[in-house]
Structures are given as C-alpha cells and as structure tokens.
Structure 1
C-alpha cells in the first residue's frame, strides 16, 4: 500500500516537472517565432521600397504607397510598423514590433 502511494506521488511530480519543462520550451519557441516574423516583415517592406526606388527612381514616402502599388501585404493586427522616409534618395527607416 505504501509503495503504491509513493509511486503515485513520484509519477505526479514527474508529470508536473515534465509539464513545466514543455511549457517553458513552448514559450521560448513562440518568442523566437514572433521575432523571426517581425524580421521577415521588415525585410519585405525594405525589399518593396528598394523595388520602388529601382522602378521609379525614388523611395516611397509612405508604407501605404507600397501596399497600394507594389502588392506589399502587412498584417497590421499582428505587427506595428514604423516607416520613416527622410528623403526620396535615402532608404527609409523601418521598425517592426510584434503586438
């Protein structure tokens, strides 16, 4: 009787430790995926701006111009994008932050 109780307690402790380890691994993976997604969005915005500069001879003044004329799609509900164009001959500053 005593051995059964000890085995159950050990099994519950092992299950709890395993659950905590898996939860921490999942959380770490989701943070990494979120950061990679933000980097991909930033790269897509900069690529579209470079394409615009190559075709039109100047960098666009706004993110909405890229979305309207160059087919750029940004998920604004998941990412906050700051697009700052200093001059038409200077690449824009792009910052993407996951929400």
Structure 2
C-alpha cells in the first residue's frame, strides 16, 4: 500500500539527512586530526630512537677502536648504521676523540 508523504515528513527526512551528513563530516575531521597527532608522535619517537642508535654505535666504535668516530659516515660504513637521511636532519659534532660526540636528530 502506498503512503503519501506529508510536508512534515519531508522536512523531517531532510533534517535527518543534514544532521547525518554533519555528523559524518565531524567524524572525518576528528579522524584526520587524530591521524596527524599520531603521525607527529611517531616521527618524534623515531628521532629519539635514531639518536640512541647513533650514540650506541659511537660507544661501540670507541670501545673497539679506542676513540670516538670523527664523522657519521664512519659509523655508517664500518658499523652498519643505517640512517634515513630523507626523513631526518642529523647534526653530529665531535669535539675530540676522547669526548662523546654531540648528536641532534630532527624530523623533517
């Protein structure tokens, strides 16, 4: 049996559609915001882990060779350190062979 829609029924349906569309848009924006925060946190944690691995390789080099490496390239070539230079900017400063180098890792 066919039931004819009244003007009030049509208005209610339109209102539901608009409310539903607004809720979906709000959920999409919230999901995007959460994704951005999580991705930024992952980059920061990656930078901390990379700095720790650089310092660990420098300590290993000092234990084996008797002095800290003068460059980051030495650690990459001789000790198997792998660095993603596209994602991180690394400042490696070695003051003297017997002083631990200063390492700063910044995500791009």
Q: Which residue does the alignment assign to 2:34?
A: 25
CA RMSD of aligned residues (A): 0.6
After TM superposition, list the pairs within 5 Å mapping 1:1-99 onto structure 2: 1-99=10-108
Dislocated runs of 4+, deviation >4 Å: none
**TM-score, structure 1 normalization:** 0.97
In structure 2, distance between residues paired with 1:45 and 1:82: 11
Structure 2 gaps of 5+ residues are 1-9
Deviations 1:39-84 (A, max 9, x none): 1111110000000001111100000000111111101111111100
Structure 1 gaps of 5+ residues are none
In structure 2, distance between residues paired with 1:81 and 1:94: 7
Tell me the number of residue pairs that the alignment of Structure 1 and Structure 2 aligns. Answer: 99
- Structure 1 or 2, whichever has the larger Rg, is 2
**TM-score, structure 2 normalization:** 0.89
**Secondary structure of the equivalent of 1:72?**
coil
